[in-house]
Structure 1
């Protein structure tokens, strides 16, 4: 490694960054298997198409709860395994166990419960990885570090997403089963994925060193000066508390009186819970009881850096699109392109396998895009490059409606791959210089709110929109996702970045 100056983080070698980021490939095995197969598992176990979004609510809700907690805890942790690595270690063990159990779920409620456990453990493992890049790399290497993470995410997702198709077509493992039984190809894919996740994460745990809190405190750069809202200033929670609480109650009353879909209770309930959390934080502030994790997280939500507030809208629209794609691509392709909604039919399962291949493809293109995007940033600037990639994703999702031949669906995977790689790297590169080292974990956890909230919104309203606006045709969820990508592209041009 090369030392830049006495008070700046040393520059890491390529292979040190490689070892540090390799675990992300293992984590992506878990996410990719989840994204490509959970809707299929739910439908196989009897879920109706308009019930799928609410079943998926486990994934974003666990992230909303777990990531800021783990971020705060990892900021305060230091032991034999370091600061972030204990969470990699134990999270990977639980995630592997969940991956082994998930494809053996006997009933729908068991599968839904396993999704909660699996996603929570993935989030425990994943959240500190983002903070680790900020901990270990100097400012000038952080964008490269996040791009390398994107590369590993793409590679891991290619392998994991295509596993059921590969097992069926290369190893003659059956991709069909009796009604209510998860196909063997899906089961084996989860077993392989669990083993691969454990190996990759443990590689990072045992090959990567971390700086102690004392060493991190000795490093100085202008990140600390640029960070805003890090002091425990007095916050007036009252206005936001009244607005969010009143709106939440109003939504639940309207849903009850008009007999609207039960998914909308989720939105109202979340707003009420948010109001209650603000009330508790306000009480703690009045009592002077502010030296605790709960108050720190709530306070930091209201005092986040300016760049983080602006990037919140970019993340919101981007992840609404992604969640629409993950929830509905299987149902859209099997019904619109393979003309089957019978989960026991060969046509349906061939279509579901092809979705796995498509997901593998966009992640493969994302791995290649991660190598190209730095050149795009150099030529266009970081905001224009991200906006361009988001527009590619928008056109690609909308094209599902006009492409009739399943094989040609490979073409929009290129644009989705560029959008995905960009979403995984450029917002973090724009944000990196705005975060103080001492709070890297908690702010990364809070930044995840703007990934989770749009997913909860998608889980709450997409089924309602499709049912009442598009005759329950899931293909239009992908069109809605394309429109949301366009809004994200517009939002990124408003972000003020530090040079």
Structure 2
């Protein structure tokens, strides 16, 4: 087997740079889709059902795209065609979703918004899955921790930019965050335009600045046999069930951790706006058109930008910590801090309005809302680890010629808990908590703590140090 060459820092950077734009899109989605759907007429208790579009699309798309990208090679490379194609569709969906009113003659705006949400998330998955495999393709084993840590840094940098964009447009540039007709605010619409443009530009950078290895060269580096096209196609039709049967034990063990982690994350993305609006601003369940609710929505962007910033900072040192203390230890402690972060939000409610200087602008918020930033420190550390550690642990256990399809199958462990969360969360909120969304954050905290405990049962291959 020929030794795979090491990449310099900027080569590894270029491999993952497209994730900057993808995560801007994801961040805008995470912080604003509940707000958009509410503006279009969605009920609080049904929001989690609308959000099911995200994990369902991932469940369908990622294994298919992963397997297809394992068998692809053309002028754009192996993973490149899927990364670029998904980015184009995602950008178009981002341009259309907040403008659901244009489709009123075709279908109700809420239905159009939900369809665009599903299309947007599905195309995010088309683009994102090959990126995971691309890092494993292009980096030798001794640079795997570094590759996924840089990817985590870029993901969280993009998330910071996407999360704070509506807030910046409103509080710095003066774009309105309230629509006089009760529709989607202009600040959100323009944020989706900017996010879609950045997504396309960053993905184009990766596609044209990263030269993937041709099949023969890749096979030499990974110790693989070069398989004919006909044989690959036959295997792709007949071998999926066999692949499931041969799933590495490490993947199955990580699936338990993933279940608790992503169950919690889904709850946060769907309900933070309502939890904060009710708990700090004192909004009622149906008060979705008020300025207080929209101000809370803007502040959620700051909070999500905050946890992404903390995640980006932690990503800088995470690789060294994993090499020194072990991936599992770093992973478990990170999830523990995330659980504590979620639980702590309950402590911060109400309070007088205070004036904050955020350097780029000044804003008045309830004192408790500012304290939620401390909760986001733990959430950010957990998020950084969730984005990197499972893939770093898993990639050492996967055959190189099936990296894409197994990474796609691994997405079941992300989509599954979100689907379960989406089905039951609304009913739990309705029948147990009388619409008080802060208690959903408590459930998220407990779930993340269970994830931290589950890391202890993961058996991994020996980590390769830098």
The TM-score with structure 1 as length reference comes to 0.84
Q: For residue 71 of structure 1, what is the aligned residue in structure 2?
A: 66
Q: Aligned in 2, Cα 1:179/1:474: closer, same or farther, shift over 3 Å? A: farther
CA contact (8 A) 1:179 1:344 kept: no
CA contact (8 A) 1:46 1:180 kept: no
Which residue of 70, 95, 98 maps to 2:93? 98
Structure 1: runs of 5 or more not aligned: 1-5, 225-289
Shift of residue 297, structure 1, vs aligned partner: 2.8
Q: For residue 393 of structure 1, what is the aligned residue in structure 2?
A: 338
Q: For residue 348 of structure 1, what is the aligned residue in structure 2?
A: 293
Q: Deviations over 1:246-279 (max 9, x none)?
A: xxxxxxxxxxxxxxxxxxxxxxxxxxxxxxxxxx
CA contact (8 A) 1:297 1:442 kept: no
CA contact (8 A) 1:148 1:370 kept: yes
In the alignment, the residues of structure 2 paired with residue 333 and residue 300 of structure 1 have an alpha-carbon distance, to the nearest angstrom, of 44
CA contact (8 A) 1:26 1:196 kept: yes
In the alignment, the residues of structure 2 paired with residue 99 and residue 297 of structure 1 have an alpha-carbon distance, to the nearest angstrom, of 33
Shift of residue 91, structure 1, vs aligned partner: 1.1
In the alignment, the residues of structure 1 paired with residue 307 and residue 237 of structure 2 have an alpha-carbon distance, to the nearest angstrom, of 38
In the alignment, the residues of structure 1 paired with residue 262 and residue 237 of structure 2 have an alpha-carbon distance, to the nearest angstrom, of 26
Q: Deviations over 1:380-421 (max 9, x none)?
A: 321111110001000100111111211111111111110000
In the alignment, the residues of structure 1 paired with residue 188 and residue 253 of structure 2 have an alpha-carbon distance, to the nearest angstrom, of 40
Which residue of 153, 156, 161 maps to 1:154? 156
Shift of residue 46, structure 1, vs aligned partner: 1.1
CA contact (8 A) 2:222 2:400 kept: no
Q: Aligned in 2, Cα 1:44/1:294: closer, same or farther, shift over 3 Å? A: farther
The number of aligned residues is 427
CA contact (8 A) 2:253 2:458 kept: yes
Structure 2: runs of 5 or more not aligned: 102-108, 225-232, 350-367
In the alignment, the residues of structure 2 paired with residue 389 and residue 103 of structure 1 have an alpha-carbon distance, to the nearest angstrom, of 35
In the alignment, the residues of structure 2 paired with residue 154 and residue 466 of structure 1 have an alpha-carbon distance, to the nearest angstrom, of 30
Q: For residue 17 of structure 1, what is the aligned residue in structure 2?
A: 12
Which residue of 421, 428, 444 maps to 2:384? 421
C-alpha RMSD over aligned residues:
1.3
Q: For residue 205 of structure 1, what is the aligned residue in structure 2?
A: 207
Q: Deviations over 1:401-445 (max 9, x none)?
A: 111211111111111110000000011111111111110100000
Q: For residue 323 of structure 1, what is the aligned residue in structure 2?
A: 266
Q: For residue 140 of structure 1, what is the aligned residue in structure 2?
A: 142
CA contact (8 A) 1:332 1:475 kept: yes
Q: For residue 393 of structure 2, what is the aligned residue in structure 1?
A: 430
In the alignment, the residues of structure 2 paired with residue 220 and residue 77 of structure 1 have an alpha-carbon distance, to the nearest angstrom, of 17
Q: For residue 24 of structure 2, what is the aligned residue in structure 1?
A: 29
The TM-score with structure 2 as length reference comes to 0.90
In the alignment, the residues of structure 1 paired with residue 451 and residue 273 of structure 2 have an alpha-carbon distance, to the nearest angstrom, of 24
CA contact (8 A) 2:49 2:422 kept: yes
Q: For residue 309 of structure 1, what is the aligned residue in structure 2?
A: 252
2:429 paired with 1:466: yes
In the alignment, the residues of structure 1 paired with residue 17 and residue 256 of structure 2 have an alpha-carbon distance, to the nearest angstrom, of 29
Q: For residue 186 of structure 1, what is the aligned residue in structure 2?
A: 188
In the alignment, the residues of structure 1 paired with residue 49 and residue 96 of structure 2 have an alpha-carbon distance, to the nearest angstrom, of 21
Give 3-state SS (helix, strand or coil) of 1:171's partner: coil
Q: Deviations over 1:349-376 (max 9, x none)?
A: 1101000110011001100010122233
In the alignment, the residues of structure 2 paired with residue 374 and residue 220 of structure 1 have an alpha-carbon distance, to the nearest angstrom, of 23
In the alignment, the residues of structure 2 paired with residue 422 and residue 446 of structure 1 have an alpha-carbon distance, to the nearest angstrom, of 20
2:240 paired with 1:297: yes
Which residue of 418, 423, 429 maps to 1:455? 418
CA contact (8 A) 1:70 1:128 kept: yes
